[in-house]
C-alpha cells in the first residue's frame, strides 16, 4: 500500500513539474517597476538594451544559481533612438510598457547553452498578472508598414483609462 502511495506521489510530482513554466511578474513601487524572472536552469540573463537607460543597477540581479532574476527600472518617459517609446508615461500616472522589452534578449543555462530572443528555440515566458493591476503592458508597432492600433493588455480592469485611450485613438 505504501509503495502505491509513493509511486502515485512521484507521478503527481512529475506531472506538475512538466507543466511548470518560465514566468515573470511585475511589481510597481511608486516610480519603480521590478521585473521578477523565474527561468528554470538559467544562470544569466541579458535584458533588452532599450531598458538600459531606465535600469536601477543596485536593485538589479541578472546572475543567479537558481533561475531567479530581478530587474528594476525607473518609470519615466524616455524616447528611444529606434522610433519607439520604451516606456510611455501618461499624465494620470499610468504607464505603458511594451511586452517586447520585458523578455530577456539572451538566456544562459547551467550547461552554458545560450538562447537569444530571435532563436526559434526561445522558451515561452508567461507574464503573471498582478492582482492590483498597477501596470499596463502593450505590444509595439513600428511607424511604417501596416497601420495597426496598439493592443494593450489588462485594460478591462481600468475602464476609465480604456475609454480615454479609445477616444484618443479615433
Mean pLDDT in consecutive groups of 10 residues from the start of the chain, 170 residues = 50 42 89 94 94 94 96 83 70 76 94 92 85 70 54 64 55
User: Could you give the C-alpha distances from 30 to 33, 50, 95, 161, in angstroms and in order?
Assistant: 8, 21, 12, 19
Of residues 37, 46, 39, 42, the one with CA closest to residue 65: 42
User: Where are the strands (E) in the chain, listed by range?
Assistant: 23-29, 32-38, 42-46, 68-74, 78-79, 85-89, 95-98, 106-109, 114-116, 126-128, 136-139, 151-153
C-alpha cell at 129: 498578472
Distance of alpha carbon 51 from alpha carbon 157, whole angstroms: 26
Bridge-based pairing of strands 42-46 and 68-74 is unpaired
Looking at residue 58, the DSSP 8-state letter turns out to be G
Measured at the alpha carbon of residue 23, what is the angle toward residues 20 and 29, in degrees to the nearest 5? Answer: 140
C-alpha cell at 19: 507543466
Write down the pLDDT at residue 81.
Answer: 65
Write down the pLDDT at residue 143.
Answer: 54
Distance of alpha carbon 122 from alpha carbon 50, whole angstroms: 19
Amino acid at each position: 500500500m505504501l509503495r502505491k502511495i509513493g509511486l502515485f506521489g512521484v507521478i503527481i510530482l512529475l506531472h506538475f513539474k512538466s507543466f511548470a513554466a518560465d514566468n515573470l511578474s511585475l511589481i510597481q513601487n511608486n516610480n519603480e517597476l521590478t521585473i521578477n524572472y523565474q527561468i528554470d536552469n538559467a544562470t544569466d540573463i541579458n535584458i533588452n538594451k532599450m531598458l538600459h537607460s531606465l535600469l536601477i543597477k543596485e536593485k538589479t540581479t541578472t546572475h543567479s544559481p537558481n533561475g531567479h532574476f530581478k530587474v528594476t527600472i525607473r518609470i519615466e518617459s524616455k524616447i528611444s533612438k529606434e522610433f519607439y517609446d520604451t516606456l510611455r508615461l501618461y499624465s494620470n500616472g499610468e504607464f505603458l510598457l511594451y511586452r517586447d522589452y520585458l523578455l530577456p534578449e539572451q538566456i544562459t543555462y547551467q550547461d552554458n547553452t545560450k538562447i537569444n530572443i530571435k532563436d526559434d528555440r526561445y522558451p515561452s515566458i508567461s507574464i503573471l498578472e498582478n492582482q492590483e493591476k498597477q501596470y499596463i503592458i502593450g505590444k509595439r508597432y513600428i511607424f511604417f508598414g501596416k497601420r495597426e492600433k496598439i493592443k494593450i493588455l489588462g485594460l478591462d480592469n481600468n475602464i476609465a483609462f480604456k475609454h480615454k485611450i479609445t477616444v484618443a485613438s479615433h
